[in-house]
Amino acid sequence: MFHTMFSRSLYQLQKLSRRNDLSLHNSSTKFKHAVLAAFQPILHTRPYANNPQPAASASSVDQAELAKFAAIAESWWDAEGPFKPLHVMNPTRLTFIRSTLCRHFGKDPFSARPFEGLKFIDVGCGGGILSEPLARMGASVTGIDAVEKNIKIAQVHADLDPVASSIEYRCTTAENLVEEQMKFDAVLALEVIEHVANPAGFCKSLSALTVPNGATIVSTINRSMRAYATAIIAAEYILHWLPKGTHQWSSFLTPEELVLTLQRASISVEEMAGFAYDPLTGQWSLTDDIGVNFIAFGIKKQ
């Protein structure tokens, strides 16, 4: 069932990308398409590389094309724009990442660039909302996304900041990099695994990308009733934070399932935290409650 759903959304996505009238300046529905594309980053069992490239190939990039992506990048990165929820949640995810990785790699938590000299990969990087802060924290970052448009958005935006422009963005999948035998000190896949058709295989790829004793960080949504009420009913249907159909409840993973899946991929989960949203302040914070959104930090076994 998931396969058919995913095939359909993939099909829609490709159709969308093929259309050349993606002038995203003022149409809200088109923003939603951009959102949708960003939230469907990886299709594990059907690597994009095997499909004909939906977006324009590199050689045909012209000035108009570039201007178009620059405009999308601006709205993608607009903190008050359609991706506002992601921007608001981002510092909270990064707080967890910073504290666990500083401890794991023995880095000074009071340094402004603690990840100096470490190689990180952001799997499903979208517009680069996680990659850029990681680069500012000193890491040497590779950002990958299966959606070409996301990679372009990310690249255009990263070029606006000399520190972020050190990020290497590639339109590819985790398993392509496994084939290339790439290795990273830390592998991060945030809000991606729930969009993947084969989570077990995906975790194996994440593990294969991690150096022995390296770190893997995965975040997703719990398959709980509360998650259904908040992540789907509230976020998609009431608050319209996300386009309807962004998430399928049945493809969410419970923390136990995630731990087991990672365990089988030789990653032992060491620490977990939940995210709580305070509607009064509009801020997210870390909590013990992993009932809805949660993030897990694991270490690749030797």
| 251 interacts with another protein by CB under 8 A | no
The tokens of 156 are what? 């255009």
| 286 interacts with another protein by CB under 8 A | yes
| 225 interacts with another protein by CB under 8 A | no
Q: How far apart are CA 119 and CA 131, in angstroms?
A: 12
Of residues 7 and 268, the one with the C-beta less far from another protein = 268
31 three-state secondary structure: helix
- Which are the contacts of 29, defined by CB distance < 8 A and separation ≥ 6? none
| 146 interacts with another protein by CB under 8 A | no
The tokens of 135 are what? 């680069």
Of residues 50 and 302, the one with the C-beta less far from another protein = 50
Nearest-10 Cα torsion for 298, 299, 300, 301: -120
Q: Which of residues 176-195 bind another protein (CB under 8 A)?
A: 191
| 215 interacts with another protein by CB under 8 A | no
| 171 interacts with another protein by CB under 8 A | yes
| 86 interacts with another protein by CB under 8 A | yes
Pick from 3, 8, 66, 301: which binds another protein (CB under 8 A)? 66
- 285 contacts 276 by C-beta, under 8 angstroms: yes
Of residues 216 and 246, the one with the C-beta less far from another protein = 246
| 33 interacts with another protein by CB under 8 A | no
Beta strands, E only, 67-149: 119-123, 140-145
Pick from 50, 63, 181, 302: which binds another protein (CB under 8 A)? 63
Q: How far apart are CA 169 and CA 20, in angstroms?
A: 23
Judged by CB under 8 A, the stretch of 40-48, 96-104, 208-216, 255-263 that binds another protein is 96-104
Between helix 2-18 and helix 28-38 the angle, nearest 10°, is 130
